[in-house]
Protein backbone atom coordinates (compact mmCIF):
# COMPACT_ATOMS: atom_id res chain seq x y z
CA UNK A 1 0.00 0.00 0.00
CA UNK A 2 1.30 3.43 -0.93
CA UNK A 3 0.31 6.22 1.43
CA UNK A 4 0.60 9.94 0.74
CA UNK A 5 0.73 12.32 3.67
CA UNK A 6 1.47 15.94 4.42
CA UNK A 7 2.98 17.49 7.51
CA UNK A 8 1.26 20.50 9.03
CA UNK A 9 3.07 23.80 8.63
CA UNK A 10 3.28 23.99 12.42
CA UNK A 11 5.03 20.60 12.75
CA UNK A 12 8.61 21.11 13.89
CA UNK A 13 11.50 18.92 12.64
CA UNK A 14 11.50 16.80 15.83
CA UNK A 15 7.78 16.02 15.41
CA UNK A 16 8.31 15.15 11.76
CA UNK A 17 11.23 12.87 12.61
CA UNK A 18 9.15 11.12 15.27
CA UNK A 19 6.39 10.42 12.72
CA UNK A 20 8.86 9.18 10.11
CA UNK A 21 10.65 6.95 12.63
CA UNK A 22 7.34 5.36 13.65
CA UNK A 23 6.51 4.15 10.15
CA UNK A 24 7.16 0.50 9.21
CA UNK A 25 8.90 1.61 5.99
CA UNK A 26 10.97 4.51 4.72
CA UNK A 27 9.13 7.61 3.55
CA UNK A 28 10.37 10.07 0.97
CA UNK A 29 9.37 13.52 -0.14
CA UNK A 30 6.99 13.53 -3.06
CA UNK A 31 8.85 16.56 -4.47
CA UNK A 32 12.41 16.20 -3.10
CA UNK A 33 13.88 19.39 -4.59
CA UNK A 34 10.87 21.62 -3.96
CA UNK A 35 11.39 24.87 -2.05
CA UNK A 36 7.69 25.71 -1.73
CA UNK A 37 6.80 24.75 1.88
CA UNK A 38 3.40 23.32 0.91
CA UNK A 39 4.86 20.94 -1.67
CA UNK A 40 7.97 20.15 0.38
CA UNK A 41 5.72 18.86 3.19
CA UNK A 42 4.24 16.09 1.00
CA UNK A 43 5.59 12.57 1.54
CA UNK A 44 4.90 9.08 0.26
CA UNK A 45 5.63 5.70 1.83
CA UNK A 46 5.11 2.16 0.60
CA UNK A 47 4.23 -0.33 3.32
CA UNK A 48 3.32 -3.99 3.15
CA UNK A 49 -0.43 -4.48 2.84
CA UNK A 50 -0.42 -6.26 6.21
CA UNK A 51 0.79 -3.04 7.87
CA UNK A 52 -1.00 -0.54 5.64
CA UNK A 53 -4.15 0.04 7.68
CA UNK A 54 -2.18 0.49 10.91
CA UNK A 55 0.33 2.87 9.30
CA UNK A 56 -2.47 4.92 7.73
CA UNK A 57 -4.31 5.15 11.05
CA UNK A 58 -1.10 6.14 12.84
CA UNK A 59 -0.50 8.97 10.37
CA UNK A 60 -4.11 10.16 10.50
CA UNK A 61 -4.00 10.35 14.31
CA UNK A 62 -0.75 12.32 14.45
CA UNK A 63 -1.16 15.99 15.29
CA UNK A 64 1.91 16.70 13.10
CA UNK A 65 0.15 15.34 9.99
CA UNK A 66 -2.38 17.45 8.07
CA UNK A 67 -3.70 14.51 6.03
CA UNK A 68 -2.85 10.92 5.12
CA UNK A 69 -4.55 8.86 2.45
CA UNK A 70 -3.93 5.74 0.40
CA UNK A 71 -2.60 6.53 -3.03
CA UNK A 72 -5.16 5.68 -5.68
CA UNK A 73 -4.25 2.92 -8.09
CA UNK A 74 -4.09 4.35 -11.57
CA UNK A 75 -4.47 2.46 -14.81
CA UNK A 76 -4.31 3.63 -18.38
CA UNK A 77 -7.44 2.82 -20.37
CA UNK A 78 -6.83 2.74 -24.09
CA UNK A 79 -9.49 3.00 -26.77
CA UNK A 80 -10.20 -0.38 -28.34
CA UNK A 81 -8.46 0.58 -31.58
CA UNK A 82 -5.20 1.15 -29.70
CA UNK A 83 -5.27 -2.05 -27.65
CA UNK A 84 -3.15 -5.03 -28.67
CA UNK A 85 -5.12 -7.71 -30.33
What confidence tens digit (pLDDT) does each residue in 16-26 have? 999 999 999 99
Q: Which residues contact 43 (CB under 8 A, 6 or more apart)?
A: 4, 5, 6, 7, 20, 27, 28, 29, 30
Residue ranges per domain, the chain?
A: 2-72
| pLDDT of 85 | 56
Q: What's the confidence (pLDDT) of residue 75? A: 80
Q: Which CATH code, of 3.40.50.720, 3.30.70.80, 3.65.10.10, 3.30.1330.60, is assigned to 2-72?
A: 3.30.70.80
By CB atoms closer than 10 A (0-12, 13-18, 19+), residue 32 is: exposed
The residue with greater pLDDT, 17 or 75, is 17
pLDDT > 80? residue 40: yes
Amino acid sequence: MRIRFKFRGSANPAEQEEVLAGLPAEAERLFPDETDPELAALYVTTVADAHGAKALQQLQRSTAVEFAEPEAERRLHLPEELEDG
